[in-house]
Chain A
Amino acid sequence: MDEGRNVDARGLSCPQPVLMARKTLMELGSGEVSAIVDTMTQVENCIRTAESLGWTATYEEKDECFRLIFKK
């Protein structure tokens, strides 16, 4: 997956992770995007935003972080 489809929002305060994910999802419009965040709060926020834009979202916990995969 190329650089533009990966969002690294670890350690950032609200609302930056959601803004970063949202910007990428809106710019790309479709396909597959991944994001990495470090709190469940940001997982929930990103999923809510992605779903509002018509993307599906899944996540898994890995090495104290969460990897989100968005598809459309």
Chain B
Amino acid sequence: MNKVNRFFASRWGIIAVGAVIGIIAALLQKLGNPGNMGICVACFERDVVGALGLHQAKIVQYLRPEIPAFVLGAFLAALLFREFRARTGSAPIIRFVLGMFAMIGALVFLGCSWRAILRLAGGDWNAIVGLAGFAIGIGIAVLFLKMGFSLGRSYPAKPVTGIAMPALMLGLLIFAIWYPSPPLFKTLKPVTGKIPPGAMYAPVWISIIAALVIGFLAQRTRFCSVGAVRDVLLMRDTHLLCGVAAFFAAALILNLILGQFHPGLAGQPIAHNVHLLNFFGLVLAGLSWALAGGCPGRQLFMAGEGDGDAAIFVLGMMSGAAIAHNFKTVGTGPNAWSAVIVGLIVVVGIGLLARE
């Protein structure tokens, strides 16, 4: 076990896992997931929220099994390697709000940091603007960290607190298997002539196994797209960045092989080219994720390890998805700018006020 642990903690370990996630993402797209969206934590959580009827955007309602399987994969890894520790108490309400605005920002760009990288690997140049915003958002968080930003300590909790999120996710997974696709999407296909994103998905069992593997490996290596940028800015530490670079490179290579690389700015799948919105959407999301201590994927994996605060962050993101669709702040929606501006004011306020 010690040898395995050492490999996962090593630079080659994170590079290998990053590459595996990139390969799986490109394959999931080939097998049916939406364009440049083999994996997107934000979009998939939004689809799950839609499938539960918490927002009414019918084209993005599907109980994506990847989300619960990410958490459960991490949960299994944490149990197996004796790392499951129930803990909570580090400003849960603030984490909820950060999650909410992280999602609102991500949905303005139309993707989380994972999808931003996958969009770039698929030739969507709009992602460059988004990733620049993402890095700037993390840079602002780094300034707050240098000024003493902290959400305070978490404390050991009863096991039931740590198990709550994995249990909730197991419930969702059972729903996903039992009722994989609301029949609505099947009738939408011929009517619109264009398949809505919520009706594009890889076979359920393949999605589940793929996401369990990712959850397991990411828990072991602490794969984090926000940490990748943050650690370079803060400490010139490129460990996590190597993993993210491998994720990008593997997805790019496989996209080229599978014919999924279509370079350009216009006509990209589930994307828009209003650059300022793409930029500021991910400034907001990057800042929110960095203040909460990790990217949306990492928050799911930490929730699987028993971190009740990360679980609250995930629920905040899911609420943010419902708000974003109900208030029409998604993409170039009529209220997108208002949401980004309000979000930046709130999150910068948190950054300034939550200090040691």
Contacts and interface: CB of A to CB of B under 8 A. Distances in A.
Interface in B190-246: 222, 224, 227, 230-231, 234-235, 237, 239
A15 B230 contact: yes
Interface string B233-262: 011010100000000000000000000000
Contacts of B263: none
B155 interface: yes
Contacts of B224: 14
Interface stretch (B146-154, B160-168, B335-343): B146-154
Chain A CB count within 10 A is highest, among B90, B151, B222, for B222
A11 B153 contact: yes
Contacts of B83: 39-40
B90 A13 contact: yes
Contact of A52 (B89, B151, B237): B237
A18 B145 CA distance: 12
- Chain A interface mostly: helix
B281 interface: no
Given A11-B154, A13-B90, A41 B293 contact: no
A56 interface: no
Contacts of A45: 222
Contact-residue bracket for chain B: 20 to 34
A64 B231 contact: no
A12 B286 CA distance: 20
Contacts of B230: 14-15
27 contacts: A11-B87, A11-B90, A11-B154, A12-B153, A12-B154, A13-B154, A13-B292, A13-B309, A14-B227, A14-B230, A14-B294, A15-B227, A15-B234, A16-B150, A18-B235, A19-B145, A38-B85, A38-B156, A39-B83, A40-B81, A40-B83, A44-B9, A45-B222, A48-B9, A48-B237, A52-B237, A64-B156
Interface of A: 10-16, 18-19, 22, 38-41, 44-45, 48-49, 52, 64
